[in-house]
Amino acid sequence: MEHPIALYVMIGCGAFLITFLLVPVFRELARKLDVVDRPGDARKVHHRVIPYLGGVPFYIAFLATVLFIAVLYPQYSQPFHYPMCLVGTLIVLMGLYDDICDMSSAKKLPIELALCALLFFWGFQVAEVAHPLGGTWHVGWLAFIITPIWIAGIINAVNFSDGLDGLAAGLVFICAAAIFAIAFMGGQIASCIMMAYLMGATLAFLRYNFNPASVFMGDTGALFLGFVLGASTLLEQQKGVATIALAVPMVVMAIPLVDTFLSFLRRVQRARQGRFFTPDRDHLHHRLLDLGLTQRQVVLSMYYLSICMGLMAFILSVAPPSFGFLILLLAGMAIFFGVLVLRFIEALGQRTAQGGEAGD
Amino acid sequence: MTPLRRVGLLWVLILAIFAGFNIAYWPVWRHQQRHDPKNFMTLAEAHREAGELARAIAVLEQGIAGFRPPKAQPYVQLRGYLREQGRAEDARALEPIIVFYHGTGRTAPEDRAEHWAQAVDLYLERSPAPLTAPLTAETLARLAGRLAAIYGIEEAVLAWESERHYALLQLLDGGIAPRRAIGETGVDSPVDILVQSGGGEGLRRTAHLFIGNRDFAGVGRGFHAALVDPESGQALQWGVFDLWDEIEEAHRMQRFLESAAPGVIGVFAVLDEGSVNMTPGLEAALIDFGLYPEARINREKRLLGMRYSFAAIGVKGAAPGSALQVWSPGEFAGHPGRPVNCGVLHDRRGG
């Protein structure tokens, strides 16, 4: 199948331009409406008042992309575009409420799952799950449970990574680029289109959001980007060409997903004290900051790790299944040792600090 | 301004943007939906309402040929249009498949068996079954039994006579030639051949390549293929090619097909999946056996799609489209596909 490269370029550039032009507009609107993030909370690392609403242009750029394809390139218009716009709108509304009124996770998570479950009925389904020795499992009715968990998992992974300037947008850009390359090799035009949009929009946003940030995407942007990314990984599956099984996006998204998983484990530990839905300051980027790295250093380190994972996912997608298992094993071991090394350095740091205090 | 007011204001803004998007997008989307080949039934009805009955029939026939919908509605709609056009005989020819699909939708196995028996009766009223060799009759029974097992009525169907087994397999796809002629290839098979492809998942994961009375299908997922000598009817080579995981399997199958001499008979059946790593080279090698891409997949015509059942008998060097070829989609509009059968038989009655 021949790729419409000109269309990818136009979509990427269009999303870039719309986001680039609209972010300052919404930044001003956020200032006027006092929709801002104030420093003070221990989890927050910025020291100035920063406006939210930087994520609304993502949504507008997405609608414009869908309309552009439908009017000028109807041959590439897909039945899933409209459901994504509809559910995306609901997610943006929820994100706006969260940015202004601070919605608790206890309310947010069930709504996210319900909205993602809606997509199941439009054909977004995790029907096949890759198994480590090659091939896939057909999950049958379990697809109804796995699908919303998968999309909501990606949404939260992006949302949790939105803790430092440029981190969430940069990670989404890298993931989108990796999935674009994999989908391009597999001739999957629908995925390429979505990834071109994500790359354009996030790259433009980084102009304003990279350290020192002048605007935040807020939950509006993080939830929406996560939603588009999560739903897009199911596109080719719902079309019946399951070459991008879940293993590939899982490796691409490994860093934010592992962080989300570790956060979930911490929350389970806290659940006994009734604090499951209480956020903490133990995310990967927080812990790297605590080790003394600057915000830029942490963000660039996370970019680097994500690029490595993206490359690994690309190799996984082209490698024979027998090697695929080894690559997955390698990725798992790299993540495991990464976590161990981090804990070791943290422990060492604490011991040195205690030693210093004792010496004083 | 209170936080809730600010939320309200921004919600109005977002909803206004979405409303604007809908105003621009909706007409385009409706037009596309109407002209989406998958919605051929709606399009046909629109033509009928506009007084273009012949066009409506053509749209329905093309839709049925391109999607092989595993449900009764398109056939019921076509039967109605044909009656309206005064083609009562053509309309009656659709009765067996309509009754069959009505039967598959029944929950009680007895109901299902009764509908199938009715469908077979209707078919045999119009087209008598050939008199086959006893061993071929056994094979027909096995294939009919296998089909019935998927729908939970194996016992009832196995109790039928041989001609009814033939009718059951034949009324679905018309893929069994009673005079050993391999489609329009101009070649007659020296031996009875019966092929079944289950495609799909669960009980449907089956493939049979009966050449004479021996099953040359292998074990496992993929394209099962056998090459048959056109003179002696002996199987020359056979193999299974798992096109799900590795593109190398497609290259191996291509080499296998290209090694066949002109005139050699190719017999094919898909078990579970045979499309993911289908390369243009392999597709060309299959077309060289007289096969033809007729399944509509994402605005293209392909030999088969994801989890399609697919069975074919072709001849190396035959014109594209001249082979015997039957298929059923993995699913269509929420309806799962079904196993398909094709074959060439020797009618001992002659004629």
Q: In sequence order, what DSSP letters do the residues of A196-217 get, joined into one string? A: HHHHHHHHHHHHHHSSSPS---
Average of pLDDT values for A255-263?
80
Looking up tokens 């096995």 gives: B142
Beta strands in B63-220 (DSSP E): 176-177, 193-197, 207-211, 214-215
Q: Is the per-residue pLDDT at A239 higher than 50?
A: no
* Max Cα distance, chain B (Å): 92
- Over residues A205-230, the pLDDT tens digits come to 999 999 889 999 999 999 999 999 98
B260 with B253: CB under 8 angstroms?
Answer: no
Tell me how crowded residue B3 is: count the other CB atoms within 10 A of its CB: 15
Looking up tokens 């087994």 gives: B165
User: A77 contacts in B (CB within 8 Å)?
Assistant: 28-29, 32
User: A241 contacts in B (CB within 8 Å)?
Assistant: 276, 306
What tokens were used for B265? 């008979």
- Over residues B212-242, the pLDDT tens digits come to 989 999 888 899 999 999 999 999 999 999 9
pLDDT-derived band at A246 (thresholds 50, 70, 90) equals low
What tokens were used for A60? 């507008």
Type of residue found at A104: S
pLDDT-derived band at A235 (thresholds 50, 70, 90) equals confident
Report CB contact under 8 Å: B29, A240. Answer: no
pLDDT at position A244 is 45
User: Phi/psi of residue A207, each to 5°?
Assistant: -55, -35
Average of pLDDT values for A286-290?
80
- Over residues B253-286, the pLDDT tens digits come to 999 999 999 999 999 999 988 888 888 899 999 9
Helix, strand, coil percentages, rounded to 5, for chain A: 75, 5, 25
Query: Quick one: how far is CA A308 from the chain centroid?
Result: 16
**C-alpha distance from residue A348 to each of A77, A282, A351, B35 (Å):** 55, 17, 5, 66
Touching check for B32 and chain A: CB below 8 Å?
yes
β-partners of residue B327 are B310
Q: H or E segment at A137?
A: strand A136-138
Report CB contact under 8 Å: A100, B10. Answer: yes
Interface confidence, given as ipTM, is 0.85
Average of pLDDT values for A290-299?
84
DSSP B37: G
Type of residue found at B170: Q
DSSP A142: G
User: B276 contacts in A (CB within 8 Å)?
Assistant: 241-243
Q: H or E segment at B5?
A: helix B3-35
Angle at B54 between CA B303 and CA B42, to 5 degrees: 65
Select the residue from A67, A129, A131 to test the B interface by mutation, using most B Cβ atoms within 10 A.
Answer: A67
Touching check for B203 and chain A: CB below 8 Å?
no
- Over residues B58-76, the pLDDT tens digits come to 999 999 999 999 999 999 9
Measure the CA–CA gap between A331 and A335, rounded to whole angstroms. 6
B344 with B182: CB under 8 angstroms?
Answer: yes
Q: What is the pTM of this model?
A: 0.73
pLDDT-derived band at A133 (thresholds 50, 70, 90) equals low
- Over residues A21-79, the pLDDT tens digits come to 999 999 999 999 999 988 766 666 667 889 999 999 999 999 999 999 999 988 888 88
